[in-house]
Amino acid sequence: MVVAGATNVTGVRRVLYEPQGLRDDPQVHREILPLSALTVGLATSLALTVPLARGDAKPKTIAVSEIKDGMKGYGLTVFKGTVPERFDVEVVGILHGFRPAQELILVKTKHPRLDVTKNVRGMSGSPIYLDGGRLAGAYAYSWTSFQVEPVAGVTPIAPMLTEMRRPIPPGFWPLEGGAPLPAERKGPPPKQAAAPSVDATTTAYAGAPGSYDLEAHARQIADRVGQPPDATRPIARVATPLMLSGMTDRSAALVGKLFGPLGLEPVQAGGGGGGPPSKDAPLHYVDGGALGVQLARGDVSLMGMGTVTYVEGARVAGFGHPMMEAGVTALPTAIGNVTWIFASAQHSTKMGDPARSLGALVQDRQSSVIADESKVAPTFAVHVDIRGAPGIPKRTWDVEIAEERFVGASLTASVIGSIVDASVNERRDVTWKLESKLTVRGHGTIALEDFGIAVGGMPDAGDLARSRLVRAIGDVLNNPWERARVLRVDCVLTVDYTRDAWRLRGVDLLDPVVDAGQKARIRLHLHPVAGPPVTRVVELTMPDEVAGSDVDIEIAPGYTVAPEVAAPESLRDLLANATKQSATPRSLVLQAKLGTQGVSFRGHVADRLPSFALDALRPKNSDNAPEPFASYRRVIIPLEKYVEGHDKVRVKVRPVLR
C-alpha cells in the first residue's frame, strides 16, 4: 500500500489514493508538512489521476454527457474493516430520465468478492471514478432479485453535490443544540384530521393531536415514499441494510414491518454501539468509507449502513439514494466497520457495526443522504428496570433512541419489546405492568401505566406498539404547537407469573325497580383462575333525569372505560390527556347512559348540559363548535385484581311523587 502526500498553498497535507492501494492510516487527514519541490511535483501529478480521500477542494467530476459505453474506471468501498478498497468498473450504458431530472449510469463491477456477491446492500454510495479518476457518481441501484452478473446503477454526482450544498433551513431546531422553545401557539388546533406539525417533514404523522397510531403512521410514510412492487420496477435502489444488535426475532419482525416498505432491510448481523470508539477507528469520514445512521444505540442497537461518496469539509454525501426520503432531518451517524459481506443469490449484504459515532444526517433526499460531522442529532434515553423475574441474566437496560417523528415511537416499541422477549418471555400465564415516566423538555414528567394479563406468555413488540407510552411519544414528537423534546423515558416492568385476574361470570340485579334518586344494587360473580368464586354487591344511584324509563347499566373493567377529555389545544393539554386514558385499571365501572349530553370545548369538559345550553354554545359564524358526547352516570369500584369480561342489566326507574 503506497500513500502519497500533496501540499496545497496553505501547507495542508492531503492523503491521496494510489492506483494499487489506499492510505495506511485512515485517521490521518491533515498535518503541516513542508515538502521539497520534487515531492510537490510528484504529488501534484498523482492528484490529476486519483480522487481525494478527504478534502475541501472541489472534486474533479465527469458529466453524464461525457460518459460513453465501454469507458473504464474504478470504485471504492469497504469490503472488511474501515479502509476502502478498489474495484474495477466498465460502463455498459446510460438510462436517461430514470428519476425526475436524474439519469442512471449502468456499470459492470469487477472484483474477486463482487464476482461472488454481485450487488451488495450496504455498498450504496460507493464512489465510481471514470476517465482517469474523475468522480462520476455513486453505486446505488440494482436489479430487484436473483441477479446473475455484477451490474449496478450509478447515481450521477451532479445532483448529489447540489444536495450536499443545500442549506439547512433557518431555525431547524434539532441541530441548533439547546435552542429555547418558541412561545406556545394560542387558539384552537386545526380542525382537519391531518393536522400539520411544526417543521413538518415527510415522516410527520398526519392525524389530529392526541390520535397517534404507530401502524397508521407507518402506512402513511410507506404511501409517501415506499418503493413500488418489484414487478413494476425491475431496477430499484439497493436496499439499506438495517443492522440489528441485541434484538430478538419477534421485535426484528416488527422493525421489518415498519421500516421494510421504506427500503430498509433488517439484518441481525451487527449494529451495536453506544460505547467508546474502537482504538483504531478513523477520526473522520473518507470517500468510499462506511457510513452508518444510528437509529438506536446501547444495549439494543439499530444502524442503517451505506457508503460515503464524497467528503467536502465537514459535509459528507453518500448512499446515492434516500434512506427514508425524510428531507431535512437530524439522525445520529457513525463511521462504519464492515465485518463481512454475506453472499446471497438474491441479495448480498454487508454486515458490520459502528467504529465511531460522528456527526448527524442532515438531508435525506432523492439522490443522496448528507451528513455533517459538526452537528449533533437529538436523542432520548430509555431506561428499563425489570422486577419480579428471579434469575434473569440482565435486569437493567439502557438504550439511546433517535428523536425523530417516526423513529422515536417505532423504536421505543421495538426496543422495549426486545427487552421483554430477552428477559421475561416464558410460555406460561403472566400478569405484567409497565410503569413509565416520560420527561418532556419544558413540561416536566408524566406517569403512564400499561398492563396486561396474558395466557401463555408476554405480549410482543407489536402489542407494545399500541401502548400508552408509545402513543404518548408519537403524539409529543408530532404535535402541531411546539418543537417538543423528549428528554428521557424511565420504565419499570413488573411481572407476576400468575393470572392476577377475576373473570366476570354473571351478575344478579337485586333491585329491578327503584325510585329516582335511589340506588340499584347488583351482585357480581367473580371467578379466579384457581380457587372459590368471589361475590361483591355494588350500587349505582339512578338520577332524576331518567325517572319513568328503563335504564341499562353496563358493568365493564376500568381499563376499558375512557373518560371524556377535551380536544387538546396545546402540548400541555395533550400531555394531561395522556394520563387520563382510562379509569383505574384494577376496578369495575358501573355506568348508565343519561338522556342529556355533555360537551368538550377549548380545553374544558362539561359532562351534563341541557339542550338549550348546547344551542347557546353553538357559534353562528364559525365551525369551531363544542364537541358533544353522551352523558353517563358512573361509579368506579376499586378491586384487588384486574377483571375480564363485561355484562349489562336493565333497571326500571320510577318517578318520585312529591
Higher local confidence (pLDDT), 102 or 399: 399
Sign of the Cα torsion 11, 13, 17, 20 reads positive
Whether the pLDDT of residue 405 is over 90: the answer is: yes
What is the mean pLDDT of the segment spanning 136-156? 82
Q: 133: helix, coil or strand?
A: coil
Cell triple for residue 42? Answer: 510528484
CB atoms within 10 A of CB 623: 6
Q: Name the more confident of 154 and 341.
A: 154
Q: What φ, ψ does residue 175 adopt, rounded to 5°?
A: -100, 10
Mean pLDDT of 198-225: 85
The residue ranking higher by pLDDT, 465 or 129, is: 129
DSSP 556-611: EEGGG-PPP-PPPSSHHHHHHHHTTSSS-SSEEEEEEEEEEEEEEETTEEEEEE-H
Highest mean pLDDT among 26-35, 103-112, 139-148, 407-416: 407-416
Nearest to 304 by CA among 360, 356, 244: 244
Is residue 424 predicted with pLDDT exceeding 70?
A: yes
Please, what is the average pLDDT of the chain? 81
Share above pLDDT 90 across residues of the chain, in percent, rounded to a whole number: 52
- Element (DSSP H or E) covering residue 99: strand 85-99
pLDDT for the residue numbered 58: 58
Q: Are 296 and 399 in contact (CB under 8 A)?
A: yes
Paired sense of beta strands 647-654 and 513-515, if any? parallel
pLDDT digits (tens, 9 = 90+) for 586-619: 899 999 988 776 666 666 666 665 555 555 555 5
Single-letter amino acid, residue 634: R
pLDDT in tens, 349-394: 888 999 999 999 999 998 999 999 999 999 999 999 999 888 898 9
pLDDT at 7: 29
Q: List, for residues 553-599, the tens digit of each pLDDT value.
A: 999 999 888 888 788 889 999 999 999 877 788 899 999 988 776 66
Contacts of 620 (CB under 8 A, 6+ apart): none
Confidence of residue 30 (pLDDT cuts 50, 70, 90): very low
Phi (first) and psi of residue 461, to 5 degrees: -60, -30
Q: What one-letter code names the amino acid at 4?
A: A
Distance CA 223, CA 33 (A): 54
Lay out the sheet containing 519-528: strands in order across. Answer: 534-541, 519-528, 501-509, 642-644
Nearest to 71, CA basis, from 79, 62, 80: 62
DSSP E strand boundaries for 172-300? 235-237, 240-245, 264-267, 290-298
The 10 Å Cβ neighbour count of residue 314 is 14
Residue tagged 446515492 (cell numbers): 320
For residue 266, pLDDT over 60 is answered with: yes
Q: What is the pLDDT of residue 625?
A: 59
Digit-coded pLDDT (tens) for 74-100 = 999 999 999 999 999 999 999 887 877
**pLDDT value of residue 479:** 95
Lowest mean pLDDT among 119-123, 187-191, 231-235: 187-191
Which residues lie across from 642 on neighbouring strands? 501
pTM greater than the 0.95 cutoff:
no
